Amino acid sequence: MSLKSYINDIWEAVTTTAKGMRITARYGIDVKEEVTIQYPEQRGPVFERFRGFLANDVKTCISCNMCVKICPVDCISLEAVRGADKKMVLVSYDVNIGRCMYCGLCVEVCPPKSLTHTGGFEKSMVARDEMVLHFIHEDAEVIRQRVARQVAEAAAKAAEEAKLAESQPKPAAPAAEPEKK
Amino acid sequence: MEQLTALIIQKVPALAVAPWAVTLLLIGIVAFIILQFAMVFAGFGTYLERKIAADIQGRIGPNRVGPIGLLQFLADGIKLILKEDIIPTAADNHLFRMAPYLIFTGSFAAFVVVPFGFSLIAADLNIGIYYVMAVTSLVSIGVLLAGWASNNKWSMLGGMRAAAQIVSYEIPVGMALIPAVLIAGSLSTQDIIRSQGGLLGIFGWNLFHNPFSFFSFFLYMVAALAETNRTPFDIPEAESELVSGYNTEYSGIRFGFFFMAEYADVFVVSALATACFLGGWQIPFFNAASLPPVWANLLSLGVFMAKALALVCVIIWIRWTLPRLRVDQLMRMSWKYMVPLTFFNFLGVSLWVLVFKGKGIPQMIASIFG
Amino acid sequence: MSATIDQTALPTQEMTLNMGPQHPSTHGVLRVILRTDGEVVVNARPDVGYLHRGLQKIAERNPYGSFMPFTDRLDYLASMNCNAAYAWAVEKLAGIEVPERAEFIRVIVCELNRISSHLISFGSFTADMGAFTPFLYAIRERERVNDLFEEICGNRLTYNYCRIGGVSADLTDGWLGKVKEFLDYFEPKIDEYNNLITYNKIFVGRLANVAVVSPEDCVAYGLTGPNLRGSGVAFDLRKDEPYSVYPKFDFNVCVGRGEKGQLGDCFDRYIVRIDEMRESVKILRQAIAMIPDGPVIAKVPRVFKPAAGECYFRAENPRGETGFYLISDGSANPYRCQIRTPSYVTMNIFEKVTEGLMIADIVAVIGSFDIILPEIDR
Ligand code: SF4
Ligand code: SF4
């Protein structure tokens, strides 16, 4: 090692260190550079497209099952029965957010756009079954019975009407069995 | 200490029956104060470190506990005390327990000769500098023990590295301090500071005494950084390679001891550099002795702490800028760069003192102008 | 600077060390079995597989479109690139024409993601070397990219933005302006990093001449991406096997120059990434100027069943060549999906280059190869 490279080494070490220290000092003094968001009090922006927890507007949901089919991790489960007006009536619609990866595929395919992402991302729970979000709060059995009653009523009504219209003694189609999906 | 004892006995003659008790009590009080100071400083050091690191990195740092987060260190301390003290089953129980105390003692004993103020010093030993060098060597034994007793290969590597590093850097540290000793003609820290007073203001400092002592200051800072295992020489801890090295297996308050010792070390290093090169508690253009003793002490304490804290900040600033050396590079740096350079400086200062009869450049310039 | 062991010296004992799977510097759950003589590594054998999730099998169980979110998890620091690569592969398989705007959007997000991925690589590398501050600077810049991505696709890490035939949604209003703003902000930062750490004496000392990989070895072991270019081989799929709209842009292929030591050392691999960020900025500026209007997704049937056949598509990802080999049997699910990931291939050469290094160098080597574990284990 020649003396020149020896001194050069020292010189380089000192100058490059000084350069770096100048930059850190500048950041250290400049308080405007602080980027921390004091989270619970301050919040960052939540963008419109943010994919938070799922929410289903069960009134507009047509129980088409598209979301269930596309979900790669099977976290949506729904049960629907055919109602009196031939439309499907949801009996239960559950999303397991413990499994969901918020990929947004289900929201994209939903034809009436009833399934949406909310901006929510804060949740804590102590039991695993709390991770399942229920969107139908009524008891499944109650709905099933109500729908069956409605269907039966409608069928009876239809039969009566048919009897009146054509005065034929034969009743119309039997009351539809609750259909499971 | 004897004077103080004599003073007290003079004031309260009833105590004359047992002068040794008074001395013992005084020693206890002083030791307690020093220990408290060291602990609080260690806490404050962590706070300072975190705050400065945060500032540099564009963050905010601790700000929840107490005003602007000042009490964070208390929260940390309480947390460490309440944590379970885990001793690995395979560890060497006694050595494992002993190591933190050795390290702790090594760094805290150095506070004895730290000259806080005009007459604020626990013991003005006439071998002050030598004493510091000696007691801080205890740290290397502690670190080696910690690494060995943990029975963890990473810890052992860390301990080995630390021991090798501390031992090799002790030489440049000692050599870099010698210029101050030569100029003052004494090993006592107070004498060294007194030699830097006078009417020259900051030019009375050893830093400006001659070119060699000027470089000695920087060499000392670099070598001392290495001796205290601070970045860029923190290879014994190297959390990204050795997973924290010798203190990997420690938890709870034992880990806290390592932590406190580190910050105590940093303070001792800064304090020594202040005392030896930056004029210690000397107030520029002002003779502290001309004031009533209480004021002189308070003022000089303030000046000393300001200087030392500034150096602590610089050390922290360096830590958050530089990457870490590799172990072979570290050793090369010690033996190929630090040792020859400090020896060269040592020779230079010796010659200077011999040739110019201990006069510094500022002094000579001053004498030219009358 | 490999240290040699003097055989005549005191007899020493080799030590076996487990580096990982929980080690701060193995970038995840890589396990390296080290045999060391003191500080000198005699042998370092990587042991992979701690993060195996069977992604290739999952692909067979899912329809083509539903596999898209899983490609996010391939290389979580460059999800956009993996998304796009998979989409391109499926499109090649099915012969789907993608609208031009969608291609441009893909290129823009891919290059942005390249920047953010290289930022993490740079940051974590410096953190491994002991300088923690650049890491936080890098993270700070990356947050801005994440903000940009969140605005168009709704997520910050697992973007799932590309779809077969295009992208999931058009850019929001003013988004391109924000990208431009980011580029203006970001470009000077690269110089700042160089001043802060790249040319720092200690940093250079840690990297120069460490783990030199010769160009021949690179080719023989199948290294790709910056690791290959770091050894001076100018091979970039964006140039040499152009796909999408890359031929429209003017950019350079960065190669290592042996600036601080031998060609192909850790420093060269590192500096290639820094240079590539500049090139990405260049591509982005051109893409923003040239982006056309139009639809962002092609008409693809809901139940998508490509004709039986097979295809291999490879794309230049931040870590190298990511390839998807797809076989279709005419059903809605792929018959087979083989994924070639650059990090996995890189691990092959690991044992060879680490011989005789110090323990601290192992960290440098891992960082300079910029491996990412989910890619190694898939
Ligand atoms: S967001 Fe993805 S994972 Fe979650 S329910 Fe929808 S499709 Fe399934
Ligand atoms: S896709 Fe939409 S409409 Fe269909 S079942 Fe799901 S939520 Fe209901």
Report the DSSP beta bridge partners of residue A79. A92
The region of weakest confidence among B17-21, B30-34, C32-36, C306-310 is: B17-21
Has this prediction a pTM greater than 0.95?
A: no
Quote the longest CA-to-CA distance of chain B.
73
Q: Is residue C25 part of a domain?
A: no
Quick one: pLDDT at residue A181?
42
For the CA of A106, the nearest atom of ligand 2:
1
Residues A28 and A61 in one domain: no
The C-alpha atoms of residue C103 and residue C249 are separated, in whole angstroms, by: 13
> Which CATH number fits the domain that encloses residue A104?
3.30.70.3270
Quote the longest CA-to-CA distance of chain C.
75
| Average of per-residue pLDDT across B286-315 | 79
How close, in Å, is residue C50 to chain B by CA atoms?
20
Residues A63 and A114 in one domain: yes
Report the DSSP beta bridge partners of residue C137. none
* Both structure tokens of C246: 């890359």
The runs of H, that is alpha helices, within chain C are 55-61, 68-72, 79-94, 100-128, 133-153, 175-193, 201-207, 215-221, 226-230, 237-240, 266-290, 342-353, 359-369, 373-377
Quick one: pLDDT at residue C9?
64
For the CA of A56, the nearest atom of ligand 2:
7
The C-alpha atoms of residue A163 and residue A85 are separated, in whole angstroms, by: 20
Please tell me the number of Cα atoms within 13 Å of C269 on its side-chain side: 33
Q: Which residue of B lies nearest to A38 if distances are taken between CA atoms?
A: B60
Per-residue burial over C219-233, b = 16 or more CB atoms within 10 Å of its CB, e = otherwise: eebbbbbbbbbbbbb
Q: Is the pLDDT of residue C284 over 70?
A: yes
Residues A13 and A73 in one domain: no
| Average of per-residue pLDDT across C213-236 | 87
Q: Is residue A126 part of a domain?
A: yes
| Average of per-residue pLDDT across B278-290 | 72
| Average of per-residue pLDDT across B90-118 | 81
Q: How many domains does one find in chain C?
A: 1
Residue with the smallest CA separation from ligand 2 atom 2 is A110
Q: Is residue C247 part of a domain?
A: yes
Q: Which of C15, C205, C359 lies nearest to residue B329, judging by beta carbons? A: C205
Using a CB-CB cut-off of 8 Å, the residues of chain C touching A71 are: 66
DSSP calls for B317-335: HHHTT-----HHHHHHIII
Place of tokens 């703003």: C181
Q: Which residue of C lies nearest to B231 if distances are taken between CA atoms?
A: C130
Q: Is the pLDDT of residue C1 over 50?
A: no
| Average of per-residue pLDDT across B233-260 | 77
* Both structure tokens of C295: 């639809």
Reported ipTM: 0.79
Ligand 2 centre distance from Cα of residue A136 (Å): 14
Q: Which residues line ligand 1 (CB under 6 A)?
A: A 54, 70-71, 73, 75-76, 95, 100-106
Quick one: pLDDT at residue C345?
87
| Average of per-residue pLDDT across B225-234 | 79
Report the DSSP beta bridge partners of residue A117. A54
User: Is B94 at the interface with chain C, CB within 8 A?
Assistant: no
Residue with the smallest CA separation from ligand 2 atom 7 is A115
Chain C segment 130-149 residues within 8 A of B by beta carbon are: 130-133, 136-137, 140
How does the average pLDDT of chain B come out, rounded?
A: 80
Q: How many domains does one find in chain A?
A: 2
Ligand 1 centre distance from Cα of residue A140 (Å): 23
Q: Is residue A26 part of a domain?
A: yes
Q: Is residue C91 part of a domain?
A: yes
Quick one: pLDDT at residue B288?
63
Which residue range(s) make up the domain with A68? 54-138
User: Is C197 at the interface with chain A, CB within 8 A?
Assistant: yes
| Average of per-residue pLDDT across C338-361 | 86
The region of weakest confidence among B8-22, C84-98, C123-137 is: B8-22
Instruction: At A21, give phi and psi (nearest 5°).
Output: -70, -30
The C-alpha atoms of residue C88 and residue C340 are separated, in whole angstroms, by: 15
Ligand 2 centre distance from Cα of residue A78 (Å): 9
Residues A72 and A120 in one domain: yes
Quick one: pLDDT at residue B198?
65
C neighbours by CB contacts (3+ pairs under 8 Å): A, B
Quick one: pLDDT at residue B370?
63
Structure confidence by residue, pLDDT tens digits, C184-210: 888 888 888 888 888 888 888 888 888
Q: Is residue C95 part of a domain?
A: yes
Q: Is residue A175 part of a domain?
A: no
Q: How many C-beta atoms surround the C-beta of residue B63 within 10 A? A: 15
Residues A60 and A116 in one domain: yes
Q: Is the pLDDT of residue B197 over 80?
A: no
Helix, strand, coil percentages for chain B (3-state, nearest 5): 70, 0, 30
Quick one: pLDDT at residue B199?
62
Please tell me the number of Cα atoms within 13 Å of C267 on its side-chain side: 22
Residues A14 and A80 in one domain: no
User: Is C30 at the interface with chain A, CB within 8 A?
Assistant: no
Q: Is the pLDDT of residue C255 over 60?
A: yes
Interface test with A, best of B313, B321, B341 (most A CBs within 10 A): B321
Instruction: At C338, give phi and psi (nearest 5°).
Output: -105, 135
Instruction: At C16, give phi and psi (nearest 5°).
Output: -100, 125
Structure confidence by residue, pLDDT tens digits, A110-148: 888 888 888 788 888 888 888 888 888 778 788 888 888
Q: B239 falls in which pLDDT band (50, 70, 90)?
A: low
Which residue range(s) make up the domain with C177? 65-304+359-377
Burial status of residue C330 (CB atoms within 10 A of its CB: 0-12, 13-18, 19 or more): exposed
Sign of CA dihedral C262, C266, C269, C274: negative
What residues of chain A score a pLDDT lower than 50?
Answer: 175-176, 179-181
Q: Is residue A99 part of a domain?
A: yes
> Which CATH number fits the domain that encloses residue C122?
1.10.645.10
How does the average pLDDT of chain C come out, rounded?
A: 85
Quick one: pLDDT at residue B238?
67
Structure confidence by residue, pLDDT tens digits, B131-182: 888 888 888 888 888 888 888 888 888 888 888 888 888 888 888 888 888 8
Q: Is residue C70 part of a domain?
A: yes
The C-alpha atoms of residue B351 and residue C183 are separated, in whole angstroms, by: 59
Judged by CB atoms closer than 8 Å, whether chains meet at C130 and B238 is answered as: yes
C330 CB contacts (<8 Å, ≥6 apart)? Answer: C305, C306, C307, C308
Query: Distance between alpha carbon B316 and the CA centroid of its chain, in Å?
Result: 14
Give the closest residue to C135 by CA, choosing from B222, B101, B58.
B58
